[in-house]
Amino acid sequence: MVRYSKLAFRQTVHHFGTDLCWTPMVLAKEFNRNSFARDSDLTISTTGPELPTIAQFGSNSPLELSRASSLAAPFVNGVDLNCGCPQSWACAETLGAALMEKRDLVRDMVVATRQRLREDGWGVGKEADIESPKGRGRSVSVKIRVHKDLRKTVDFITTVLGDEHNRNIDWLTIHPRTRYTQSSVPINLEALELLTNMFGDKLPVLVSGDVFTLSTLPYTSHLLEPQPTFTSNASKHEANGAPTSDNTRPHLPKLAGLMSARALLANPALFAGYETCPWKAVDVFMRNIARAPLPLKLGIHHLTEMCGAGFGPDRSALLNKGERIRLTEFDNWIDVIDFIDDMKKARGIEPIAWLPQDI
Ligand SMILES: Cc1cc2nc3c(=O)[nH]c(=O)nc-3n(C[C@H](O)[C@H](O)[C@H](O)COP(=O)(O)O)c2cc1C
């Protein structure tokens, strides 16, 4: 996530069971030309626990993407091309979602990147190399939106995938909204069902969009077996428009993974099965920013998201609105830490646990 999925946040979601973390979209051209861009856009831990990380790039050039990937490869597990960003500045530069109209270019970019990584000595031969014990495997993947006319999306994926026995990409993440669909509109389930059924045997397909809590997904999936049992409240509830009744939810047997953005910001413990953000996620985040600092305002924004009502049916929040506003007024970390400790104390909860064994 642009602005947000920096190291401390990625470490926090990883602590709570997220398998794979993406960096914010990094502009490949800047990354290649400027060492300060590299230092500020890609922060990795040299000491912490292993954190599987995918560097996501914005690019429209095979040369730029393959060079940026070559520079990033020693520090990450794979590289991903953003074909989903709908922002007008990105599309005007033929970046992000504009690439959904350039399937040959996208294929050329991933082919050039795979070739460059291979020349650099990285294993890019699909699962065998990715899981190589030498740790030299690097993935190349793409994140897309869908078209209004799904035949165009099918053509896009077919072109970018190439020979299914010698694929150009290791996996695909689908955000089933078009470039013009607002994020308040539920994802297009028919598109997701059709595309996972069509391509799910050819490569791993992940979904991005409306993963608000694990118990209110708008589809059923073997990924969640045993299937969560809905509480009477949850089954009646519509989480931000997502249908939760089993009759209306398609089953997606070929889905390979779930990606979350907005709801994970609000609840970094989502993939550990928490319906709302627990205080211990705040503790883990605070501990991580002590070691991998964030700008104060950015860190506070994360905290207001985590202490807010979130995206699931349970709208309870760690802090009320007034307390969250108070949080935004601090101008230093000491006051933020004291405030959080006070808020926890007022609720009879232990102060921030700074040591891993205390969480
Ligand atoms: C703050 C924010 C930043 C985002 N940044 C990126 C990004 O850098 N790259 C990307 O592919 N998608 C990005 N997205 C889109 C999300 O990955 C995702 O596709 C979309 O928000 C729908 O998923 P959600 O319902 O889980 O939020 C971003 C979304 C948000 C809210």
Q: Spell out the domains of the chain, with CATH numbers in brackets.
A: 52-210+212-259 (3.20.20.70), 279-358 (no CATH)
Q: Is 128 exposed, middle or buried (0-12, 13-18, 19+ CB in 10 A)?
A: exposed
CB of 4 closer than 6 angstroms to any ligand 1 atom: yes
Q: Look up residue 41 and give its two tokens.
A: 């856009």
* pLDDT of the residue at 227: 52
Active site residue 21: no
* pLDDT of the residue at 241: 41
* pLDDT of the residue at 136: 85
* pLDDT of the residue at 133: 57
| Cα 326 from Cα 131, distance rounded (Å) | 47
- 137 in helix, strand or coil? strand
* pLDDT of the residue at 223: 84
Cα R_g (the chain), whole angstroms: 21
- 138 in helix, strand or coil? coil
* Measured CA angle at 111 (ends 107, 112), to 5 deg: 115
Pick the atom of ligand 1 nearest to 80's CA.
11
* pLDDT of the residue at 355: 77
User: Which among 23, 77, 22 has a CA at the least distance from the CA of 50?
Assistant: 77
Residues lower than pLDDT 50 in the chain: 231-244
CB atoms under 10 Å from CB of 237, counted, come to: 16
**Residue 262 Cα to ligand 1 middle (Å):** 7
Are 139 and 77 in contact, with CB atoms under 8 Å apart? Answer: yes
| Cα 174 from Cα 194, distance rounded (Å) | 12
CB of 261 closer than 6 angstroms to any ligand 1 atom: yes
User: Which among 292, 307, 305, 296 has a CA at the least distance from the CA of 53?
Assistant: 292
| Cα 74 from Cα 183, distance rounded (Å) | 35
Pocket test for ligand 1, best of 208, 265, 270 (most atoms within 8 A of CB): 208
Are 8 and 292 in contact, with CB atoms under 8 Å apart? Answer: yes
Pocket test for ligand 1, best of 95, 175, 210 (most atoms within 8 A of CB): 175
CB atoms under 10 Å from CB of 242, counted, come to: 23
User: Which among 243, 241, 90, 252 has a CA at the least distance from the CA of 179?
Assistant: 90
Are 234 and 216 in contact, with CB atoms under 8 Å apart? Answer: yes
| Cα 26 from Cα 248, distance rounded (Å) | 38
Pick the atom of ligand 1 nearest to 175's CA.
19
Q: At what angle do helices 333-346 and 296-306 cross, to 10 degrees?
A: 20
* pLDDT of the residue at 207: 98
| Cα 330 from Cα 296, distance rounded (Å) | 9
* pLDDT of the residue at 353: 83
Are 8 and 289 in contact, with CB atoms under 8 Å apart? Answer: yes
For ligand 1, atom 6: residue with the closest CA: 1
* pLDDT of the residue at 326: 98
* Measured CA angle at 43 (ends 7, 99), to 5 deg: 90
Residue at token pair 């490869």: 73
